[in-house]
């Protein structure tokens, strides 16, 4: 039996194709929306430009919720009952 379903596309490949198909003025406008300034240069690959942008941005710190750990790295409230006498 022959299946008529189209072959599944790789979502990352289709996203890269979508970026590659953007007109230059649209790509530059969206780049400026993200970074606040137009790109200094345009590479042949928009996907490569986005990869360089992502690689150049430092990772945001993970916000802690709750008390700070003590010097040993342990939670200062660990081992205590939740109810104070």
Angle at 15 between CA 9 and CA 7, to 5 degrees: 5
Q: Would you place residue 4 in the very low, low, confident or very high pLDDT band (cuts 50, 70, 90)?
A: low
Express each pLDDT in 41-73 by its tens digit: 888 888 889 899 889 888 888 887 777 766 666
> DSSP characters for 4-68?
-SPPPPPHHHHHHHHHHTS-HHHHHHHHHHHHSS--SS--S-HHHHHHHHHHHSPPPPPPP-SSP
Domain ranges of the chain: 13-53
Q: pLDDT at position 15, please? A: 73
pTM of the model: 0.53
Q: 6-32: per-residue pLDDT in tens?
A: 666 666 567 777 888 889 999 999 999
Whether the per-residue pLDDT at 82 is higher than 60: the answer is no
């Amino acid at each position: 039996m022959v299946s008529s379903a189209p072959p599944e596309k790789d979502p990352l490949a289709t996203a890269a194709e979508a970026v590659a198909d953007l007109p230059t003025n649209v790509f530059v406008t969206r780049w400026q929306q993200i970074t606040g300034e137009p790109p200094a240069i345009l590479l042949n690959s928009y996907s490569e430009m986005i990869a360089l942008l992502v690689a150049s941005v430092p990772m945001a710190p993970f916000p802690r919720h709750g008390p700070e750990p003590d010097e040993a790295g342990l939670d200062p409230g660990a081992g205590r009952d939740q109810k104070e006498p």
